[in-house]
């Protein structure tokens, strides 16, 4: 069954909420300690019950798994560890039956070094695929230019003995960059998009999209200071010749046109993983003919303060005015769990959830976020993550205290379904591929489902309210001024319908004037209450109030 929206309505992806699933860690249906597609299908009721609109699946394609699927060897198949194309089709059908759209990861910047295309490309300068990747001649035995890899402070170039040339890998050397200036590469990748559209997918999340179209002349970048992830100022290169280039914006438009042509309607969500200042990101979606969304990662490093969120909302609204749709992200498979940023405080996680599910734009929720799953500490020496392995020299006493986790395994541990020793991720007695979070007794679906005061129940309530009230899903957002340092408040409105969202980030109680009367829709704890024309909030609490229309 296909889920389609009616032609005149706003596209389904406008204001839609997305749930990110990391397939390796969601649910293991065959008892090998590794999650798989059938496991996802078996747990779709949980996802549907949350009230999200779509799932985004991290990569499940054939891969040597050096970067757990972000290193692909075949774009049009499923890795046997995860299933088959038929299992995928069953997943899509089951998702659509539940009204969930399916977005898949499109890792188009690079392939695995084991992809047959790269094997051919590196075999000889005369091979028909010789120019499918970015190759360059060295300068006096040094790399062709000063381009740096994204995560690492080293050159993005690797010398290949066979060809006597250097190849570009913007992420890890096991992930060589495709040469998108080559018409055959573009044609092959556009075919990949068609292949998955024909299998019923409703969208793509483009990995490292901003880096795909590099300067074809391979000119040096300018040097510039930058803040590293651990907030040290380091001298790295500017990225204007490798990141968010004009050609990259154009590629976004070409992909949109391709999807519209192939689906016959504006049905396909296209979200880019792009890094840069907000106006640079907004350009991907401006004009309504490019990517539908560009992730905004500012909230990956949020500060738990009303002022931080006021500032972020202001900046997002300015850079992404409606109908542009800012894509909010608190956490993902690469970065720290959000609850770990607030000292594992559930009350604070509830405030954060309230804001995420009620902002204007597209909220993305990473599996386990709805349970308050924290990072699972895993020492660097045990890391399976390709990035972490490069940081193995960092002493444990240092790495343990860094707010930015160096070991991405810590955010990728198994989803917690029940309080058993494996969290219900795989049968007991089987060792999951990564350790189970120690808080499994309480931070799991089965226990929280039974507890009306749990974070899970709150997420469900909020996401359902977002669907039921057009004001929350599609309405405008106006910040309420003058609420004091500790309180964030805004009104979402659509015609007559107005919903006030207010959150108290401080240690003391607060009140927010309603400017009339209203009904409490949800509060994150018992302190939230409407009394006459004010909303009362306790410390670290938040609420939604449906405001009564002003008397005529």
Cis-peptide, bond into residue 323, ω within 30° of zero:
yes
Q: Is 72 in the site for ligand TEU (CB under 6 A)?
A: no
- Which residue among the candidates 198, 261, 428, 496 is catalytic per the annotation? 261
Task: Spell out the residues 6+ positions from residue 23 whose beta carbon is closer than 8 angstroms to its own.
Answer: 35, 36, 37, 39, 40, 57, 58, 59, 60, 69, 82
Give the tokens for residue 255.
Answer: 């992909």
Mark out the alpha helices in 357-508 (DSSP H runs).
Answer: 386-389, 396-399, 445-449, 455-468, 470-474
Show contacts with ligand TEU in window 235-274 (CB under 6 A): 273
**Smallest distance from the beta carbon of 150 to ligand TEU, in angstroms?**
5
- At its nearest, how many Å lie between ligand TEU and the CB of residue 85? 22
Smallest gap from residue 142 Cβ to ligand TEU (A): 25
| Residue 500 within binding range of ligand TEU, rule CB under 6 A | no
Look up 207 and say whether it is catalytic.
yes
Nearest alpha carbon to residue 249 among 219, 267, 272, 268: 272
Question: CA separation (Å) from 501 to 272, 477, 479, 536, 543?
Answer: 29, 10, 9, 12, 6
Looking at 257-265, 327-335, 341-349, 525-533, which segment touches ligand TEU (CB under 6 A)? Answer: 327-335
Shortest Å, Cβ 25 to ligand TEU: 13
Q: Which residue's C-beta sits nearest to ligand TEU?
A: 70
383 binds ligand TEU (CB under 6 A): no
- CA dist 26 and 24 (Å) reads 6
The two counts, helices (H) then strands (E), for the chain are 14, 21
202 touches ligand TEU by CB under 6 A: no
In terms of Cβ atoms closer than 10 Å to its own Cβ (0-12, 13-18, 19+), residue 338 is buried
Q: Give yes or no for residue 151 binding ligand TEU (CB under 6 A).
A: yes
Residue 171 contacts ligand TEU per CB under 6 A: yes
Stretch that binds ligand TEU, among 282-290, 331-339, 437-445, 483-491 (CB under 6 A): 331-339
Residue 77 vs 151, nearer CB to ligand TEU:
151
Q: How far is the CB of 123 from ligand TEU (least distance, A)?
A: 24
Tokens of 357: 């599910």
Query: Applying CB under 6 A, does 67 fall inside the site for ligand TEU?
Result: yes
Given the complex with ligand TEU, which of 336 and 444 has the nearer CB atom? Answer: 336
Of 315, 309, 313, 319, give the one whose Cα is nearest residue 360.
313
Whose Cβ is closer to ligand TEU: residue 70's or residue 118's? 70
Using the minimum distance from each CB to ligand TEU, give the nearer residue, 150 or 522: 150
By CB under 6 A, residue 298 contacts ligand TEU: no
Kindly state the smallest distance separating residue 275's Cβ from ligand TEU, in Å: 6
- Binds ligand TEU by CB under 6 A, chosen from 37, 52, 185, 208: 208
Q: What are phi and psi of 253, to 5 degrees?
A: -65, -40
Stretch that binds ligand TEU, among 132-140, 329-337, 422-430, 464-472 (CB under 6 A): 329-337
User: By CB under 6 A, how many residues form the interface with ligand TEU?
Assistant: 14
Q: Which H/E stretch holds residue 118? A: helix 116-123
Question: What are 29's two structure tokens?
Answer: 């249906």
Near ligand TEU by CB under 6 A: residue from 387, 458, 504, 514: 387
Compose the 332-371 pattern: x for residues touching ligand TEU by CB under 6 A, - for all others. Answer: -xxx------------------------------------
User: Among this protein's residues, is 404 annotated catalytic?
Assistant: no
CA-CA distance, 500 to 537, in Å (whole number)? 13
Q: Which of 28, 172, 207, 273 is catalytic?
A: 207
Record the tokens describing residue 101, joined without a space.
Answer: 């759209």
**Distance (Å, rounded) from C-alpha 336 to C-alpha 329?**
12
280 is a site residue for ligand TEU (CB under 6 A) = no
**Residue that the structure tokens 């972020």 belong to:** 312
Q: Among residues 137 and 382, whose Cβ is nearest to ligand TEU?
A: 382
Report which DSSP code applies to 136.
E
Q: Is 417 in the site for ligand TEU (CB under 6 A)?
A: no
Part in contact with ligand TEU (CB under 6 A); list of ranges 80-88, 239-247, 283-291, 328-336: 328-336
Asked if 150 interacts with ligand TEU (CB under 6 A), we say yes
Maximum Cα–Cα distance across the chain? 80
Rule CB under 6 A: is residue 411 a binding residue for ligand TEU?
Answer: no
Cβ burial, residue 457 (10 Å; 0-12/13-18/19+): middle
Distance CA 204, CA 206 (A): 6
Helix (H) / strand (E) element for 187: namely helix 183-198
Minimum distance from residue 67 beta carbon to ligand TEU (Å): 5
Binding to ligand TEU by residue 60, rule CB under 6 A? no
- Rounded to a whole number of angstroms, the minimum distance from the CB of residue 277 to ligand TEU is 16
Interhelix angle 246-263/183-198, rounded to 10 degrees, is 40
**Least gap, CB of 68 to ligand TEU (angstroms):** 8
Q: List interacting residues with ligand TEU (CB under 6 A).
A: 67, 70, 107, 150-151, 171, 207-208, 273, 333-335, 387, 408
Catalytic residue IDs: 207, 261
């Amino acid at each position: 069954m296909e889920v389609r929206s009616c032609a005149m309505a706003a596209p389904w992806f406008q204001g839609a909420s997305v749930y990110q699933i990391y397939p390796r860690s969601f649910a293991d249906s065959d008892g090998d300690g590794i999650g798989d597609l059938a496991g996802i299908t078996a747990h779709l009721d949980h996802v549907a019950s949350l009230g999200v609109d779509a799932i985004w699946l991290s990569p499940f394609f054939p891969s040597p798994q050096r970067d757990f699927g972000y290193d692909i060897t075949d774009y049009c198949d499923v890795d046997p560890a995860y299933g088959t194309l038929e299992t995928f089709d069953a997943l899509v059908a089951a998702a659509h039956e539940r009204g969930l759209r399916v977005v898949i990861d499109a890792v188009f910047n690079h392939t695995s070094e084991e992809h047959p295309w790269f094997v051919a490309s590196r075999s000889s300068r005369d091979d028909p695929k010789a120019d499918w990747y970015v190759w360059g001649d060295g300068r006096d035995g040094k790399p062709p230019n000063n381009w740096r890899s994204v995560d690492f402070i080293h050159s993005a170039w690797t010398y290949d003995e066979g060809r006597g040339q250097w190849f570009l890998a913007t992420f890890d050397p096991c992930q060589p960059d495709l040469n998108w200036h080559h018409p055959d590469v573009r044609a092959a990748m556009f075919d990949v998009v068609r292949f998955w559209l024909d299998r019923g997918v409703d969208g793509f999340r483009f990995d490292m999209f901003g880096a795909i179209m590099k300067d074809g002349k391979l000119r040096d970048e300018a040097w510039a200071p930058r803040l590293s992830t651990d907030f040290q100022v380091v001298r790295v290169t500017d990225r204007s010749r490798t990141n968010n280039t004009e050609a990259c914006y154009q590629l976004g438009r070409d992909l949109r046109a391709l999807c519209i042509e192939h689906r016959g309607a504006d049905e396909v969500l296209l979200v880019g993983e792009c890094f840069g200042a907000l106006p640079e990101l907004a350009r991907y979606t401006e004009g309504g003919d490019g990517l539908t969304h560009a992730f905004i990662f500012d909230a990956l490093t949020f500060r738990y303060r009303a002022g931080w969120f006021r500032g972020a909302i202001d900046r997002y609204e300015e850079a992404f005015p409606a109908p542009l749709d800012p894509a909010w992200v608190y956490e993902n498979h690469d970065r720290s769990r959000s609850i770990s940023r607030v000292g594992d405080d559930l009350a604070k996680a509830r405030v954060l959830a309230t804001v995420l599910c009620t902002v204007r734009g597209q909220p993305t929720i990473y599996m386990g976020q709805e349970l308050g799953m924290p990072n699972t500490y895993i020492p660097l020496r045990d890391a399976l993550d390709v990035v972490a392995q490069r940081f193995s020299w960092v002493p444990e006493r240092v790495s343990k205290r860094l707010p930015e986790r160096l070991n991405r395994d810590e955010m990728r541990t198994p989803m917690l379904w029940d309080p058993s020793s494996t969290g219900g991720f795989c049968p007991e007695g089987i060792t999951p591929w990564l350790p189970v979070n120690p808080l499994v007794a309480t931070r799991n679906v089965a226990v929280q489902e039974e507890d009306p005061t749990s974070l899970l129940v709150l997420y469900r309530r909020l996401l359902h309210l977002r669907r039921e009230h057009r004001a929350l899903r599609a309405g405008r957002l106006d910040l309420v001024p003058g609420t004091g340092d500790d309180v964030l408040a805004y009104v979402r409105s659509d015609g007559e319908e107005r919903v006030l969202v207010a959150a108290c980030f401080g240690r003391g109680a607060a009140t927010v004037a309603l400017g009339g009367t209203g009904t409490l829709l949800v509060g994150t704890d018992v302190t939230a209450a409407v009394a006459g024309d004010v909303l009362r909030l306790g410390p670290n609490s938040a609420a939604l109030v449906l405001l009564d229309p002003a008397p005529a």
